[in-house]
Structures are given as structure tokens and as C-alpha cells.
A and B are shown apart, each in its own frame.
Chain A
Amino acid sequence: MSKVKLTQGDEACALAAIDAGCRFFGGYPITPASDIAEFMSLLLPKIEGKFIQMEDEIASMASVIGASLAGVKSMTATSGPGFSLKQENLGFAIVTEVPTVIANVQRGGPSTGLPTLPSQSDMMQARWGTHGDHEIIAIVPNSVKEVYYETIRAFNLSEKLRTPVILLMDEVIGHLSENFERPDLHTLKIINREKTTKSPEEYFPYDEKEGLVPPLVPFGEGYRYHVTGLIHDKTGFPSTHEDQVFKLMTRLKDKILKNRDIIDKYEIIKEGNEKIGVFAYGSTARTMIEAKNRLKEQGINIAVMRPITMWPFPGNALNEFSKGIDKIIVAELNYGQIVDEVIRYADKNVNIIPLNKYTGRLISPQEIIDKVMEV
């Protein structure tokens, strides 16, 4: 019997979280992400996991950090307004280096905005939403299958690098139903938290001598250490000494930027003779591929690039992609957020042309085709 089932993006996200080993979900109702919480409330207790609907978005973010500190893989899901509320504690997870996954099923904003309509307008909120200097990992899947595999990758990156990872879906990807076959667990590569080889006396939760990502021992296992959102030394206790601040802040940056080989992911289709390229992500990337196929039927070849990891931005890959191309159209469901990154990294001879829609409606393949013809 075929294991293929019609599956929704939000459901694939929940299934993947469970397959990745997530056993705690702290949520708060918000459209269009509530489905993830609903699936988790149903599925987690079947495997002795825990689901809790917290009193607000801030509390749900706090609860997943708490659960993770106790050694349980955790996740929360939200949409734009809730993502704003989670930002302070997201920063706490970054500086305290507690792994967790946050799904943001984007909708139109600002404020309550367009709750049931698609948008890609939280790209910069994901990058810079929490205060202070920080690096962040954010992933933008574009299909149900990819939501599944990228959710697993989000958990793996989060555990491996001891950092929160953001899954940036949009309303279309969250509510889209596609045929999907859930893989056998043994075919998946699941990364669990590294264990320390040190005794409690020798263990320091932020010891830079352990490398860019020191192991994190869960609370309650005989290692009594301190965790604080203040800038801290290797022991976890606050420090304002310049060398300590420099060490921690630099390591937090380096552990992301020096692990680009496992973080970066993108798709490029380019034969080499194209004069026009299109750059898009998430649901808009689906439109882009359709436009490319239709143009091909008319004998027009365009190159396409789609980042799967949005942050850190795949700048080098984009630069390589842009070489030899005259014009790159950057299609986004927002005023134009990622287009500036494209301008920043593309070959300086390339003309960058934004194509934006911020009305809660998708960009159609024809609109991309028209733009290609126009330029």
C-alpha cells in the first residue's frame, strides 16, 4: 500500500518536528500557524511528548527555551504579530545558546494586517527582529515535502550549533496540500545534542576551548551551572570585561559564519547563456519555476536562483549566479526586502529589477513573464 498521503504544509512541519525528536511544543493560537499547534497537541502525547498552549506568544517562546534547557527538543510556531512578541526571548535563546525551532508562517502586515493571506514580509524581522548584534539561521521552504525535510534540518542545525533556527513559511506553503510520503525514520539523519566528556567540576557551558559550539548539558544531570541573558564568561556568569565580551560575541558570530558549509542551501538552474535571471523564494519560487517553464516553451531561457537558507544570506552563490547575466528580477511578496541583499552581493554589472506585490495576493507566473519580456 502506498504511504503517499495528501498532506498540508503545516502538518508536514509537525510530522517532521516529531521525527526530528521534538518532544515539547509551546504554542499560542494564531492564523495561519495554528494548524501546527493543533497537530502537535494531537500527536505529541501519543509518544509521551508534551504540548502546552501558553497564555501568550512571549510565554510560548519562553517555555520552549525552558524545555530545551531541560534537555528536550522543543518548538513553537507563530505568524507575524506573534513573531514580533517572541523577539526578546529569541535573543535570549541566541545569547544563552539554547537550541529550539521557531516556525513563522508569514501573513501580511504590519500589525494584524492580512491574517489569512500570504506574504513574505517578515524576512527582515527574522534577520533583525531581536535587538543587538546577532547572526541567525532562517530557512524558506517552498513545498510540503521541503517543509518536512527542512524542518528536520532546522532541528539538526539548531542542536548542532546550539542556536534557535527560524522556519520561514508563508500562508500558501503552510496551507498548501500536496502528495507526500513520510519517510522511514531510519532513513533520516537526526542530530542530537553533543554530550560532554567533562566531569561537573571541569565542565563550563560556554567554554570557548571546547570549540565554536561547547556542549550543553541539560539541567538536572548533576552539572549545576548558571544561565543568563547578560553577556557572560565561559562559566555562564555575567562579565563586562572587554576581552570576555569580545570572546563571546565573536564566537556567537563565528559559530554561524564558519559553519556555512552545513547551513547554506539554495537551488540554481542556469545553463550559462541566459541573459535574464530571476531570484525568488518560498511560494514565489514556485511561480518563478512555472514562469521559467512557460518561457522555455516560447524558446526563452531564463536562469533562476532560489535560496532555501535565507539567513545567513547566500551571497557568494548569488555572486557566482549573477556573473554573465545582464538583469536579475527579484520577485517577493513585500515592498522589497531581499532585493537589497541581492544588490549587495550580485556582480556590479548586473541590473537588479524588483518585482513586488504586497496586496495579500500571489505574484502570477504571467507577471514574471511580463517582467522578463519588459526588461
Chain B
Amino acid sequence: MNTDIKLKYLRTDKLPHIWCPGCGHGIILGAIVKSFDKIGWKKDDIVVVSGIGCSGRTPGYIDTNTLHTTHGRALAFATGIKMAKPNLHIVIIMGDGDAAAIGGNHLIHAARRNIDLTAIVFNNKIYGMTGGQYSPTTPQKAKASTAPYGNIEPNFDLVKLVKGAGATYVARATSYHIALLEKCICNGLAHKGFSFIDVLTTCPTQYGRLNKMKSPEGNLLMIKNNTILMSKAESMTDEEIGNRIIIGEFANNDSSREYTELYTDEIIKKAMNKE
């Protein structure tokens, strides 16, 4: 059943994908196409936009309108598409380097505008395709090919960043917690306004190899052990939570109006009445 749904939304002639054995990206791709089916959107009405890197190759496998842009700029391209055709459903797939480093400016401004885009970050804490360099989400002390002595930079909490910037749907899921992942993507797609889902995932080839965790299952278990569901964390003390990262939905509200709708209601109406 699951396989049928997935195949319905995939370009099967483009498979197998280019990702390494044990990579978590395929799990997220599966959750995305299942969410498309659940929400019932027509493939013709969906645009999937990506930047550069391993995650950037995801749209190629999805049978919708797909756009593989330049590094970090997916959200800016998507903004133009959404403004031109607000009826289209637009999903943006970015890596952590894409979204938080080179494209960080676009991320906070898309969130601030509350434009109806669903942004999903495949956050494996490393630049995978270029050979394992540290990213803005690499934890301190972790090794990377450009941090052979360990990373000294504090990492971004993307959830706090994007929520602070004004996004009206913000969630953190993982490629280990599939049910939560699918729920967050579905809710993000359904939400009118800027939706952001930070998906913690694995890169055994680069991050794992450089940090003494080569096995795919070991990488997934690391995610399991380092995270805690928000529903559980709510009844725990800070001490009990410890260093674990909270996963779940951090914002799901209509505190500000969606950008393209507001543009039509405020600007176009005013401009046209004036004449």
C-alpha cells in the first residue's frame, strides 16, 4: 500500500536515487510523497523547489513540477513562483548548509513574510556532497573535513531561528520518528502561511565516518537517543531532558496573514480603487 502511494508520486524511471546506502534522505522523500497523497493535491498543482547538495537532488525523483535551483536560493525562486501563481502548492527542500548558511537570509525573510510555502530542511549536520565540511548545524566538538580538530562554532537552533523570524508553522522531526515526520509534513502542507520543518537526519558517509559512527543504524539510533518528543518533555524537568533535542510542533497558528493573500487584499485592492 505504502509502496503504491509512493510510486504514484515518484518518477520511477529516475530511480535508483544517487544517495549513499544508509542515507536518511530517502526516508524523508517517502514521507513527503505520502503526505502529498494524504492531502490529496494534484501533481500538476505542486511545485517542488530545491537548492544544491544531496537534498537538492530530491525534486528530480518527484513527479510534479520540479525546480533545482542555485545553492541556498530555493526559497527566493519559490517566492517568485508563489507570487506569480498563488494557486500552486510549493514545497522547498533544502540542506542545512543550503537553508542555514548560504541561504540563511532567504529563510528568515520568507518566515517573516509568512508566505505560503512549505520549507523542509534535510538536516544531516554536514555538507555531504562536497565531502563532509562543517555546517551551521554541526554540533560543537564534532569533527568535519574542515574541522579536523573539532568544530568550535555554536550551532543554529533552526526552530528557534525560524519561529523568531515569524513563521506560523514550525516543527522539528527526524528520519527515525516516521509517524511524527509524516504528521509534521502533512500539517505543514495544510498550513496557510510559511511552514518550516527541520528534519534531523543521517549522513553515515560523511558525518558518521568522521565522528566514529559509520553504520546507518548507529546513526539513526544516535538520533533516537539524542531527541525527545515534546509530549514527553512537557512533563519533565530540564535536568531530566538534559542535552536531548525536543522534537514536535513548536508553532501552528494564524497569528499573521499569509503574504500573497494580504498582497491581493491590501495592495491590489487599494491600487485599483485609486484609479
Contacts and interface: CB of A to CB of B under 8 A. Distances in A.
Interface residues of B, number: 40
A224 B44 contact: yes
A72 B78 CA distance: 14
Given A63-B79, A89-B73, A224 B64 contact: yes
Contact of B263 (A50, A70, A218): A50
A57 to B, nearest CB: 10
A69 B44 contact: no
A66 B78 contact: yes
B250 interface: no
A65 interface: yes
B83 interface: yes
Given A66-B84, A227-B67, A229-B68, A219 B47 contact: yes
A62 B66 contact: no
Contacts of A92: 69-70
A132 to B, nearest CB: 13
A58 B103 CA distance: 10
A221 interface: yes
A23 to B, nearest CB: 8
Nearest to B263: A50
Q: Which of B45, B78, B81, B85 has the most CB of A within 10 A?
A: B81
A314 interface: no
Interface in A29-67: 42, 45-46, 48, 50, 52, 54-56, 58-60, 62-67
Contact of B267 (A45, A88, A219): A45
B60 A59 contact: no
Contacts of A128: none
A226 B68 contact: yes
B272 A67 contact: no
B15 interface: no
B81 A67 contact: yes
A45 B272 contact: yes
Nearest to B108: A55
A260 to B, nearest CB: 30
The secondary structure that dominates the A interface is mixed
B80 A64 contact: yes
A66 B81 contact: yes
A60 B263 CA distance: 17
Contacts of B64: 224
Contacts of A24: 80, 83-84
A59 B70 contact: no
Given A55-B109, A221-B44, A224-B44, A62 B69 contact: yes
A237 B43 CA distance: 18
A340 B14 CA distance: 48
B84 A59 contact: no
A74 B83 CA distance: 11
B272 A65 contact: no
B83 A52 contact: yes
Contacts of B69: 62, 92, 229
A296 B172 CA distance: 76
A220 B70 contact: no
A144 B263 CA distance: 31
Given A24-B80, A63-B76, A66-B78, A45 B270 contact: yes
B84 A62 contact: no
Interface string A79-122: 00000000011001000000000000000000000000000000
B65 A224 contact: yes
B156 interface: no
A92 B69 CA distance: 8
Given A56-B105, A220-B85, A226-B68, A70 B80 contact: yes
A70 B66 contact: no
A227 B88 CA distance: 17
Contact of A69 (B81, B109, B267, B271): B81
Nearest to B78: A66
Given A58-B73, A70-B88, A219-B88, A226 B80 contact: no
A240 interface: no
Interface string B51-87: 0000000011001111111100100111111111101
Contact of B60 (A58, A66, A89, A228): A228
Contacts of A50: 83-84, 263
Contacts of A45: 263, 267-268, 270-272
A62 B73 contact: yes
27 contacts: A46-B274, A46-B275, A48-B272, A50-B83, A58-B73, A62-B76, A62-B77, A62-B79, A65-B80, A66-B49, A66-B83, A67-B84, A70-B85, A70-B88, A74-B80, A89-B73, A219-B65, A219-B85, A221-B44, A222-B44, A224-B63, A226-B59, A226-B66, A228-B67, A229-B69, A237-B60, A238-B60
